[in-house]
Chain A
Amino acid sequence: MDQDRIRNFSIIAHIDHGKSTLADRILEVTGAVTGRDMRAQVLDSMDLERERGITIKAQAVRVDWKGHELNLIDTPGHVDFTYEVSRSLQACEGALLVVDAAQGVEAQTVANAYLAIENDLELLPVVNKIDLPQADPDGAAEEIAELVGDTPDHALRVSAKTGQGVEEILDAVIARIPPPKGDPEGPSRALVFDSSYDQYRGVVAFIRVIDGSFRAGEPVLAMAQGTRFEAEEVGFFSPTMQPADTLSAGEVGYLITGLKDVARLRVGETLTSQSNPASAPLPGYRDVKPMVFAGLFPTDSDDYPELRDALERLKLNDASLSYEPETSQALGFGFRSGFLGLLHMEIVRERLEREFDLDLLVTAPTVAYRVETPTGELVEVHNPADMPDDRERVEEPYVRASIIVPKDGVGQVMELATERRGRFDHMEYLSPERVLLLYELPLGEIVFDFYDQLKSRTRGYASFDYDYAGFREGDLVRLDVLVGGEPVDALSLVLHRESAYARGRLLVDRLRAEIPRQMFDVPVQAAIGSRIIARETIKAKRKDVLAKCYGGDITRKRKLLDRQKRGKKRMKQVGAVEVPQEAFLAVLNLDEAAKK
């Protein structure tokens, strides 16, 4: 197809602002899906995505509208997947920036709009849900205009739910979004903006062809990684897979690689032809590094092999997931896993529990620290227990956070951000009622309970999003927890010196409440190095005996004893102290406990 008749665009929106519904409606209006086949939210294929209302994997669907080929590229809605979002945006020339007419601009709208602007996309502001009784389309249009520097009357007003205004969106896509401008005759280049794994056909790459064309049977080279394979099939989604002879410059579709390992074809790669390779890859490829880490342990240590298998299988579909074996004295065998962010961690955990039926104990999330040792060696630490005692300096990752809050919540947000070592950048009024605050915050302060605190302090009105902003030095210490004099490796934390005392006290209080009394006094301590900063004692039990053993019913007594013995086996042994798993869980959920 002539590039002038192609338009590639995506939809960006804050969660629940109607992105998926709008995508469904576009498929319906263009006849790509008939009403009968219409499943709500066709593009979200995983159950989990459907339930959480978020999209994990980007996909692209081709529709025809008034003699044009429109490719709708779906993007993940959350910044944990910023890199994937930006790859998806790089495959487009424009984006619909969707805002809920009742909610207005939210933090994700801001973060995603900035990403789109950085990628030189033509933004079409769309005010959605105008059918809602509480809708304020004019207010929402003004907020968008303020954000993107446009005039409010440029915003399209639609209801994805009723279909009102959807055809006008498609017309505007053709009129306002520029066509692709690649070289159809040059050496072929395509951007891999996403991939998925099919157990029979291997890695399926979602590609945007920039220059030249790709056809089935052609030997292909991934330029950054040097991976070579043959294109087994090319085609597009409409919305089901449609094989095609070629994908040519400007087009979006899929390419089946036959590769059995997602890690061999990363998102962001440039594909070219082995026989006539391009001289340079497309700009911007980078290897995605996990920023958030946590230990994953099976509740029942017998499930370790199942957990290993499950992680292997998840990894097939999620190249950004990383893990390595971890052994904890308290929790046994598990894996230290790296995630793109907190949401990514939550999704992985839920998938492990739901799809693989595993019971997991997840340690408190931590971030990647860069440590310089006295000998000048640089190490990256992913587990607080591995934080060396001798260190010259420690750097921690920072994020650029956008927080949107009603104006009477600004004080609360500022207070929280200051508590969390935030550096104020600037603030602006999106409307007379709503304020955008920009802060730089240590990621380590966010992984605890920042979002929960933000929600509770603003009665749920604040929205929050972040993007990584590099590493900076911090006055960080390792806080250890000792039970009965033995350090509990799984409970070690790295945190700022100033918050160590308060958190140490909270941890110790909580453990004292959760660890059942033993046959001897058990000290519970929090320590920085060899210095104890908080201490409590679990008093020894004074009595543990069922007085009655009577009437010859010895079997009952023995069964009670067996139950007690089984109870002991479920305990995790820390030195001589038996600690129930619930105690670890309670401590790991410290933040929820603190809120109560």
Chain B
Amino acid sequence: MSGARHLYVHLPFCAARCGYCDFVTVVGREGRHDEYVDALIAELALERGALSEPLDTVFLGGGTPTFTEPGALQRLLRALPGCEELTVEANPETVTPELASLLAAEGVTRVSLGAQSFQPHLLETLERRASPDVVRRAFYHFRDASFDNISLDLIYGIPGQSTADLERDIDEALALAPEHLSWYELEAKPGTRFTHAHGDELARQSEEMEDYFERVVDRMTGAGYRWYETANFCLMPTRDGDRDLRSRHNLGYWLGRDYLGLGIGAVSTVGARRWRNTPRLGVYLEALANGERPLREVEDLSAEVKREERVMLGLRLDEGVLLADATDAIDVRALDRLVAADLVSVGPANGAPPALILTGRGRRLGDGVTAELLA
């Protein structure tokens, strides 16, 4: 094994926790940003052997990476190994012209802006701090700093979101002409504060919202975006020179490549081993201050599990999963059924080797299709 060519760095700090969020985040404790960056740099030093440099991609996710105190953020960016795609996630209310310039100057090639919605009442439901104007302004700050690869994160299926609300969000997002869009369905986890507050409303609306995903896909593909992954869209190369605007970092996950994750709650997969760092800030900081690896939850991945994950993730892509990679993991009788039901097709994608590719309807029913294929 030559080592991981993808690096994820988790910056957990946020000004406030949004009700629907289930990522590892830390609210308050501004004073510890520097200390945390020190720990990240220390962890990188401990794990550097697992990396194969130069790296393909680095991704700073959160939390709110752009909420990190600018000096600390800059110090981190300078300490990271070089790579071809360096993405930073940003929350609109933290984006200033100065921050945009700082990121550009430090070699960031791609930003992912957490817009979520452009409707004030929906942003309020999500407990987001930015107004629609702040979202748009943030986008232009990045453009002004000459970012030419901007992604917008949007959410559909928000309690109280009507079909007209969704259409307006799609219009507003397209109006900004981002290179890339991620559309996530809101996941209301049972037992959370958010579900407690909005679960009934969501249940009431579930029938109405059933076609939101279909609408999003139709509008995106109609506007010239490539539906390259279940929830992700990028401008077609024809519309934007020869650039492949898919998220190279996330493709790494979806293609089953190795990646190293740094920071609290971060996951790494290298070879047959996956581990997840402790989500507890104090525990993490203390270990690295002592030059030790943080507490981790380790999972050994059998060849069977690896194969299954390959299919599970690969089927989310428009290019599908290579038949050669899938044959040992799938139930062939189920495949016949699913092909007959026009949910899966088998064929060479653009002259490439044969692959299992979900049809449009198959992709919308992707979880069920995958469960049946792998059963």
Binding site for B on A (CB under 8 A): 519-520, 541-555, 557-558, 560-561, 564-565, 568-569, 576
Contacts and interface: CB of A to CB of B under 8 A. Distances in A.
A368 B367 CA distance: 46
B110 to A, nearest CB: 15
Contacts of B312: 557-558, 561
Contact of B341 (A519, A550, A552): A519
Contacts of B23: 551
A554 B313 CA distance: 9
Given A545-B366, A555-B299, 9 more contacts: A541-B368, A544-B366, A550-B250, A553-B276, A554-B253, A554-B274, A555-B276, A561-B367, A565-B374
Nearest to A520: B341
A547 B363 CA distance: 11
* 10 tightest Cβ-Cβ pairs between the two chains A and B: A547-B185, A545-B366, A564-B371, A547-B231, A544-B368, A552-B267, A544-B365, A547-B184, A565-B371, A543-B213
A549 B185 CA distance: 11
A568 B375 contact: yes
Contacts of A555: 267, 274, 276, 299
A550 B316 CA distance: 12
Interface string B258-280: 01010000111100001010000
Helix, strand, loop or mixed for chain A's interface? loop
Contacts of A551: 8, 23, 61, 267
Contacts of A576: 337
A545 B363 contact: yes
Contacts of A560: 367
Given A542-B211, A554-B309, A549 B368 contact: no
B187 interface: yes
Contact of A547 (B61, B210, B230, B370): B230
Contacts of A549: 230-231, 253-254, 313, 316
Contacts of B268: 552
Interface string B1-40: 0000000100000000000000100000000000000000
A170 to B, nearest CB: 64
B259 A561 contact: no
Given A543-B364, A565-B374, A558 B308 contact: yes
Contact of A552 (B8, B214, B368): B8
B283 interface: no
A519 B187 CA distance: 21
A584 B305 CA distance: 34
Interface string B294-313: 00000100000100110011
Interface in B186-224: 187, 210-211, 213-214
Contacts of A564: 367-368, 371
A182 to B, nearest CB: 72
A561 B313 contact: no
Nearest to B372: A568
Nearest to B338: A519
B369 interface: yes
A323 to B, nearest CB: 34
Contacts of B367: 544-546, 560-561, 564
A545 B230 contact: yes
Contacts of B276: 553, 555
Contacts of A565: 371, 374-375
B130 interface: no
B183 interface: yes
A520 B372 CA distance: 14
A547 B213 contact: yes
A178 to B, nearest CB: 71
Contacts of A550: 184, 250
Contacts of A561: 312, 367, 370-371, 374
29 contacts: A519-B365, A541-B365, A542-B214, A543-B213, A543-B214, A543-B364, A544-B364, A544-B366, A545-B213, A545-B365, A545-B366, A547-B230, A548-B185, A549-B254, A550-B184, A551-B23, A551-B61, A551-B267, A552-B266, A553-B267, A554-B309, A558-B305, A558-B308, A561-B312, A561-B367, A561-B370, A561-B374, A564-B367, A568-B372
A543 B363 CA distance: 9
B128 to A, nearest CB: 17
Nearest to A551: B61
Nearest to B8: A552
Given A543-B364, A547-B185, A552-B268, A519 B369 contact: yes
B356 interface: no
B285 interface: no
B337 to A, nearest CB: 7
Contacts of B372: 568
B150 interface: no
Interface in B102-147: none
B369 to A, nearest CB: 7
B343 interface: yes
A213 B230 CA distance: 88
A548 to B, nearest CB: 5
Contacts of B187: 546, 548
A542 B313 contact: no
A546 B365 contact: no
Interface in B13-72: 23, 61
B123 to A, nearest CB: 19
Contacts of A558: 305, 308-309, 312
A549 B276 CA distance: 16
Contacts of A548: 184-185, 187, 231
A543 B185 CA distance: 11
Contacts of A545: 213, 230, 363-367
B240 to A, nearest CB: 24
A228 to B, nearest CB: 59
Contacts of A547: 183-185, 213, 230-231
A576 B316 CA distance: 24
Nearest to B364: A543
Nearest to B368: A544
Contacts of A569: 375
A542 B187 CA distance: 17
Interface string B305-336: 10011001100100000000000000000000
B375 A543 contact: no
B341 to A, nearest CB: 6
A566 B11 CA distance: 35
B261 A552 contact: yes
Contacts of A543: 210-211, 213-214, 364-365
Contacts of B185: 546-548
Interface string B346-375: 000000000000000001111111111011
A560 B305 CA distance: 14
A565 to B, nearest CB: 5
A519 B259 CA distance: 35
B335 to A, nearest CB: 14
A558 B214 CA distance: 24
Nearest to A541: B365
A414 to B, nearest CB: 44
A498 B374 CA distance: 47
Contacts of B230: 545, 547, 549
B229 to A, nearest CB: 8
B154 to A, nearest CB: 11
A592 B185 CA distance: 38
B35 to A, nearest CB: 23
Given A520-B341, A568-B372, A552 B259 contact: yes
B210 A542 contact: yes
A542 B316 CA distance: 16
Nearest to A569: B375
Interface in B54-109: 61
Nearest to A560: B367
A547 B233 CA distance: 12
Contacts of A519: 341, 343, 365, 368-369
Interface in B236-263: 250, 253-254, 259, 261
A544 B185 CA distance: 11
